[in-house]
Structure 1
């Protein structure tokens, strides 16, 4: 979605093209699911039994 927005230039942020809508949707999913590092800490803590956070 970012690549398409960059390719479209100023048109990438208009309602005529859906690039920004898709970009916003993808960003919200990434934020909702959390980062890879946070998932790694949580799963590692569950597997080892050692706390990942202090």
Structure 2
């Protein structure tokens, strides 16, 4: 957002930074992004990803 919008990408009047902050919070909401990836891979393939 900052590269595309320049200084406007960090202002509250523009929605880009709000969306970026929301997306960043998803990575740490209930564990790390890597753990979520392993769990989803296990659910999809049926293979234990933690061995």
| Same fold (TM > 0.5) | yes
Residue of structure 2 equivalent to 1:32: 29
Which 4+ residue blocks in structure 1 deviate beyond 6 angstroms? none
Mapping of 1:1-54 within 5 angstroms?
A: 4-33=1-30, 34-36=32-34, 38-39=35-36, 40=38, 43-45=48-50, 50=51
List gaps (5 residues or longer) in structure 1.
Answer: none
Relative to the length of structure 1, the TM-score reads 0.56
List gaps (5 residues or longer) in structure 2.
Answer: 43-47
**Structure with the higher fraction of residues in helix conformation:** 1
C-alpha RMSD of the superposition: 2.4
Give the deviation of 1:17 after TM superposition: 0.8
